[in-house]
Amino acid sequence: VKHLLGIKYLNENDIQLIFETADHFKEVINRSIKKVPSLRDITIANIFFENSTRTKLSFELAEKRLSADVINFSAAQSSVKKGETLIDTVNNILSMKVDMVVMRHPNPGAGIFLSKHVNASIVNAGDGAHEHPTQALLDSYSIREKLGDVAGKNVVIVGDILHSRVALSNIFALKLQGANVKVCGPKTLLPKHIESLGVEVETDLRKALNWCDVANMLRIQNERLDISYFPTTREYTQQFGVNKKLLNSLDKEIVIMHPGPINRGVEITSDVADSKQSIILNQVENGVAIRMAVIYLLASKIK
């Protein structure tokens, strides 16, 4: 496999290989050996057509820790603003002897499209409301680290499932590994045929939380939202927001996840996000090892 375009194109063995490789890199990082010489002859371009904090910095750090040469491209400060196409932009970057492109783009399928038109390894860092494969990998990896395994665990994904690439990639990854998955959110923010992906819908948040081992709380994707389909923020928080009182009233102690960025006080309160039950910053930490693993494994195909 030359690209990572979505979890949809992986199998369980691929995921286990990525996790075992990430285990190795995490151990290396934890021994304070922050840099390995593995990819000294590889050049990677991170091209971002959408805003990012975690994914962009995490990929850049992962690439630098593998000793790759790195260039960063932000569409907002580029000749895209003068009308240059995606293919022309990427082919110009590749002509500078770049081997791999990590791309975030607002259009679903942008990475797949690019992979068919340019000669480089493409890593999808989030394509619109479609997929965010490295986020799903780091999420599953964090569940495995916290609970020992993903298989057999009950995971509920709460919030704006309709517009969330994190939700779709997580559903694919969790189902491949044998987790039980439910989604919970307002009916207007659930895709019509979500059950066809092997997940159950639960619109009662308390029931969903009492069922699960892990709750992955999503942000409302205001940037992709048709406002007429949406409850007000206050209504959303009342029905689907998690606060400490609700968490403490559950039958058991569950694990709280969030891909970030958090809208504090909307989908979760600060006393939940910053609680002992939250593994939100562990997810971010694990993102670097996961991205090192993905880049290392893909680079082995192009070296």
Which residues lie near ligand CP (CB under 6 A)? 52-56, 126, 132, 135, 259-261
- Are 202 and 156 contacting, i.e. CB atoms less than 8 angstroms apart? yes
Residues linked to residue 71 through DSSP beta bridges, in sequence order: 45
The SS3 of residue 281 is: helix
For the CB of residue 144, give the shortest distance to ligand CP in the complex, in Å: 18
- CB of 38 or CB of 58, closer to ligand CP: 58
Closest CA to 135 of 289, 283, 299, 262: 283
- CB of 3 or CB of 132, closer to ligand CP: 132
- CB of 38 or CB of 290, closer to ligand CP: 290
Give rounded-to-5 percent helix, strand, coil for the chain.
50, 15, 35
- CB of 6 or CB of 259, closer to ligand CP: 259
For the CB of residue 222, give the shortest distance to ligand CP in the complex, in Å: 13
Closest CA to 1 of 97, 96, 100, 93: 100
DSSP assigned state of 276: T
- CB of 191 or CB of 260, closer to ligand CP: 260
Phi and psi torsions of 180, nearest 5°:
-95, 130
For the CB of residue 126, give the shortest distance to ligand CP in the complex, in Å: 6
Q: How far is 145 from 188, CA to CA, in rounded Å?
A: 34
For the CB of residue 258, give the shortest distance to ligand CP in the complex, in Å: 9
- CB of 56 or CB of 163, closer to ligand CP: 56
Buried b (16+ CB within 10 A) or exposed e, 62-95: bbbbbebbbeebebeeeebeeeeebeebbeebbe
- CB of 109 or CB of 260, closer to ligand CP: 260
Q: How far is 99 from 43, CA to CA, in rounded Å?
A: 5
Q: How far is 54 from 220, CA to CA, in rounded Å?
A: 17
For the CB of residue 53, give the shortest distance to ligand CP in the complex, in Å: 4
Give the residue nearest to ligand CP (CB): 55
Q: How far is 226 from 185, CA to CA, in rounded Å?
A: 16
Q: How many helices (H) and strands (E) does the chain have?
A: 11, 9
- CB of 135 or CB of 216, closer to ligand CP: 135
For the CB of residue 54, give the shortest distance to ligand CP in the complex, in Å: 4
For the CB of residue 33, give the shortest distance to ligand CP in the complex, in Å: 26
For the CB of residue 32, give the shortest distance to ligand CP in the complex, in Å: 26
